[in-house]
Amino acid sequence: MDKRQLRAFICVFEERNITHAAELLHVTQPALSSTIKALEDELDTQLFIRKPRGVDVTEHARMLYPHACRMINDMDVLASRFSKRQSQTELTIGIEQDIPSSCLSYLLATIQHNLDNVQLTLDPGCTGNIRLGCESLRCEDELFITLFDDTYALAYPVDHPISQIDELTLAHLYNQNWILYPESNFHQRFQLFYDSSVGGNNTNAGSFSLALDLVEAGFGLTIAPSLLIKSRCHLASRQLPSYPLPHRIGICYTIQALENYGVSQLLSVLNKSV
């Protein structure tokens, strides 16, 4: 019993006429009759009673019909799934450390609503066809699409005395305890503020997220991306007492990555939205 026989049976059952069924199936009447006969032989039962003008269905045919319809539907669904899987484009996105969940959620929603037949993989770190990260960490051969224009801000516990200061200056940062990033390329950018803390008891952290954990635990102040601070309900933030320090988050990619259909489609959508 195969798909061709089941389709032939269903068509004859619904039309009650071999000639009409043959026309719908685009086969000759003798070929259709032969297919039905082969199915009847395999099932060892009569399915149709031939008449001068059409056919009548037997009880066995009535029993077979719903099962045949389900089998055809299952076959079509299975074939569609494998066909869709084979036509899918693999898209791997590296997610750099300390990316706010709101930024990742935006990117995933964009993919979900605009890209079809993409097998998506998220990996941590500097990997993948493209990366979601900050502009300052992009490689020399990479291009960048800005998705979020964030800035660095001062992070502190909501009940810290700094929250009572109307206009923050460098003088207010004297003798504060800081959480620093000595192994990060961000460390030099923040040196102006660290230098004001001549007598503080400083702590080191390997990431912004870990630094914010230390701030929540009361170890001191830190500088971190505003969007990352806003995700912490026990922390407050304010603008640094100097010129703004930008922190742009977006997509890092190479020209070669555009050869991937998923990458080219996604970047096209993102370029239109920014």
Q: At 126, phi and psi to the nearest 5?
A: -85, 85
Q: So what's the pLDDT on residue 197?
A: 57
Q: So what's the pLDDT on residue 73?
A: 86
Q: In which domain, by residue range, is 261 found?
A: 87-273
Q: So what's the pLDDT on residue 104?
A: 96
81-84, long-range: CB < 8 A, 24+ apart: 84/117
- Amino acid identity of residue 127, one-letter, is T
Average pLDDT for runs of 10 along the chain of length 274: 90 92 90 92 92 90 91 81 64 94 95 88 92 90 94 95 90 86 80 66 91 96 95 94 90 92 91 80
Helix (H, G, I), strand (E, B) or coil at 247: strand
Same domain, 38 and 136: no
Q: Residue 53's domain is classified under what CATH number?
A: 1.10.10.10
Same domain, 155 and 181: yes
Same domain, 147 and 26: no
Tally the domains of the chain: 2
- Which of 82, 100, 125 is the endpoint of a domain? 82
Same domain, 75 and 93: no
Same domain, 32 and 61: yes
DSSP string, 194-240: HHT-SS---EE-SSHHHHHHHHHTTS-BEEEEHHHHHT-TTEEEEE-
Q: Residue 219's domain is classified under what CATH number?
A: 3.40.190.290
Same domain, 10 and 140: no
Q: So what's the pLDDT on residue 273?
A: 79
Same domain, 104 and 66: no
- Which of 36, 65, 82 is the endpoint of a domain? 82
Same domain, 77 and 95: no
Same domain, 22 and 73: yes
Same domain, 70 and 108: no
Look up the pTM and report it.
0.65
Q: What are the Cα distances from residue 88, in Å, to 107, 149, 228?
A: 19, 33, 34
Same domain, 117 and 183: yes
Q: So what's the pLDDT on residue 36?
A: 92
